[in-house]
Amino acid sequence: LHSLEKSSKPVNLYGHLRKNEKLCYVLAAGVMNHDLPCIGKLYSDNLPAEGYFCGLLKDDEITFHVNIKKQWHKADVVIVDDNDIYKRTPFSSNLLDVLGKTRVVFFGVGSVGSRIALGLARSGIKNFRLIDPDIFSVENVARHVCDMTDVGRYKVTAVRERILRINPQAQVEIFPYDILSQRDKTKNNAFSDVHLIIASTDRKSVQLRINNECYHRSIPGLFVGCYDEARAGEVLFILPGITKVCYECLRGGTRQQEKSRQYDYSTAKSHEDYEGEPGLNAAINQVSDIAEQHAIALLLRNEQCEMSRLIKPHNNLLFISSGLGEGFYYLRDAYCFTKSFEVIQPIMKEPWTNCSTCQKSL
Ligand SMILES: [Zn+2]
């Protein structure tokens, strides 16, 4: 090794060094803009002066060495090809190619958004924008993909790290602030080249604004929410100009209900307090998982594949009951779940006539 000193510039290697297990996982090389640790440098014909890990390229063969207590040991290295990640998805290489080129924007990476984001990263989506001004707190641990090691961080930072652990080559842009109140240029950048917007902000006022942006910019949207301690949830997708009912249509139809029941979100003191409502992790996940399948279907809706059949414009709304959902009334008491784990798909043919979004902007 010593004979290879003094030569060309090293290339940084990123991944995980498991000294205890004598394993190095090289997940990426070169210049990275994310949180994977740099575990060493690759010298084509040089040995690092310092450091605990190196790869040596000699006669077209790379051997890796790890320095433990100033002694070099040959190391087993797994070099990951990101195509291998998706070998066990149900998608052909053509479909993976389509998914890999799409970009999904998340408004909200709380319990719902974070789970869907990681799910999409596992399914072949590689380009993400995460928008959420919230800081991850101890109370979030019970129902979020992140954990105690993330307390005090922006949710978008922590979720980006989780996505990059799934696919280190993914592109994840983060916005730890309210993008909707930014100047037009910043806002337009956040919405540029986007194939799907997933809104799970837990705030009706924000969801309504996102709905408006979807229509204004002709971008498909997916709205996900849980109600009454996640006894029930809803998934609504919109394809501007194609689906008949938008998020405002849905909420507009429930405005009268607010008088008698006071709030959509039952136990919350106000709409804006809803995010503090408790809910069982598994019940929230059930709703998120149904939404996630619709997200993939929306991205593949123009492709010849089974997933695209999920997208039926007249069936763009699903009500879902969880384990405790039996007897739960929904939407002006028009729908009642008769059992646990039920999915109701009302046929939505007519928009709300007073809708200021889909009835005026088109
Ligand atoms: Zn509407």
Per-residue model confidence as pLDDT tens digits over 58-81: 666 667 777 666 777 777 766 667
Average the pLDDT over each of 38-42, 171-175, 219-223 and give the range with the smallest value: 38-42
- Quick check: 343 pLDDT over 80? yes
Q: Which residues contact 66 (CB under 8 A, 6 or more apart)?
A: 17, 19, 22, 24, 52, 53, 72, 73, 74, 75
- Ligand 1 centre to CA of 246 (Å) is 4
Q: How far is the CA of 192 from the centre of ligand 1 (A)?
A: 23
Cα distance between residue 291 and residue 310, in whole Å: 11
Residue 51 has pLDDT above 80, yes or no: no
Comparison of pLDDT for 11 and 176, the residue scoring more:
176
Residue 213 Cα to ligand 1 midpoint, Å, equals: 12
Distance between CA atoms of residues 140 and 138, nearest Å:
5
Q: 252 CA distance to ligand 1 centroid (A)? A: 8
The string of pLDDT tens digits covering residues 177-205 is 999 988 888 899 999 999 999 999 988 99
DSSP secondary-structure letter at 37?
P
Q: Note the pTM of the prediction, 2 decimals.
A: 0.82
- Those residues with Cβ within 8 angstroms of residue 292's Cβ, 6 or more apart along the chain or in another chain: 115, 116, 119, 120, 123
247 Cα–ligand 1 center, Å: 6
314 Cα: distance to centroid of ligand 1 (angstroms): 14
In which band, very low, low, confident or very high, does the pLDDT at 321 lie, cut at 50, 70 and 90?
Answer: very high
- Closest by CA to 54, choosing from 3, 176, 143, 62, is 62
Is 238 in contact with 250 (CB distance < 8 Å)?
Answer: no
First to last CA, the chain: 68
| Ligand 1: centre distance to CA 49 (Å) | 64
Higher pLDDT, 361 or 216: 216
Q: Is 105 helix (H, G, I), strand (E, B) or coil?
A: strand
Residue 201 CA to ligand 1 center (angstroms) comes to 19
Distance from Cα 162 to the centre of ligand 1, integer Å: 35
**Spatial contact of 304 and 225, defined as CB atoms under 8 Å apart:** no
Query: Ligand 1 centroid to 248 CA: how many Å?
Result: 5
pLDDT of residue 228: 84
Dist. CA 344–CA 247, nearest whole Å? 17
For residue 200, the CA-to-ligand 1 centroid distance in Å is: 18
How far, in Å, is the centroid of ligand 1 from the Cα of 360? Answer: 9
Cα 235 to ligand 1 centre (Å): 15
* Composition of the chain by helix, strand, coil, percent to 5: 30, 25, 45
Phi, psi of 339 (to 5 degrees): -155, 170
In this predicted structure, the answer to whether residue 334 has a pLDDT above a threshold of 70 is yes
How much distance in Å is there from the Cα of 313 to the middle of ligand 1?
A: 14
130 vs 254, residue with greater confidence: 130
Task: Give me ligand 1 centre to Cα 117, in Å.
Answer: 26
Pairing state between β 103-107 and 127-131: parallel
Cα 237 to ligand 1 centre (Å): 12
Q: Report CA(242)–ligand 1 centroid distance (Å).
A: 12
Of 277, 308, 268, the closest CA to residue 112 belongs to 277
Give residue 3's Cα distance to chain centre: 48
Q: What is the largest CA-CA distance in the chain?
A: 82
Cα-to-centroid distance, 357 and ligand 1 (Å): 5
CA dihedral sign, ordered 43, 47, 50, 51: positive
Q: How far is the CA of 264 from the centre of ligand 1 (A)?
A: 18
- 3 state SS of 224: strand
Q: What is the mean pLDDT of the chain?
A: 83
The pLDDT value recorded for residue 270 is 44
